[in-house]
């Protein structure tokens, strides 16, 4: 599950969309304003976010409203936190080893 989220967030444009949606639901036009890319490109990026479950879309007539799905980001955040904790433990061990080596 987290792999899908990381793949969806791999592109800077998709990360920008997620950032904009973090302020709350918005229409496709509101979220993608000033990106300077074509509508088909926007559609491909939105599809990637939707397929990963990061963004949901509600269609009301011609209005497409997007919303962030924070639970998808939660899986990725948990994985990142586990990795951070692992690396901190490793750095602590290396630090202790180096401290021991300095002592006469």
pLDDT in tens, 69-87: 988 888 888 888 999 999 9
pLDDT at 49 over 60: yes
pLDDT at 41 over 80: yes
Domains and CATH numbers, the chain: 2-102 (1.10.10.10)
Q: What percent of the chain has pLDDT over 90?
A: 68
List alpha helices for 1-104, DSSP H.
2-8, 12-21, 28-32, 39-51, 70-102
Element (H, E) at 58: strand 55-60
Q: What is the DSSP letter of 101?
A: H
0.85 exceeded by pTM: no
pLDDT at 104 over 80: no
Query: What is the number of alpha carbons within 13 Å of residue 86 lying toward its C-beta?
Result: 6
């Amino acid at each position: 599950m987290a792999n899908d989220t990381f793949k969806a967030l791999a592109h800077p444009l998709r990360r920008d969309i997620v950032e904009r949606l973090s302020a709350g639901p918005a229409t496709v036009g509101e979220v993608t304003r000033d990106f300077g890319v074509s509508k088909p490109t926007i559609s491909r990026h939105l599809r990637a976010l939707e397929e990963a479950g990061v963004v949901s879309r509600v269609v009301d007539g011609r209005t497409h409203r997007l919303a962030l799905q924070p639970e998808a980001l939660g899986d990725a955040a948990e994985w990142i936190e586990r990795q951070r904790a692992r690396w901190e433990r490793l750095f602590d061990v290396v630090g202790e080893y180096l401290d021991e080596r300095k002592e006469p």
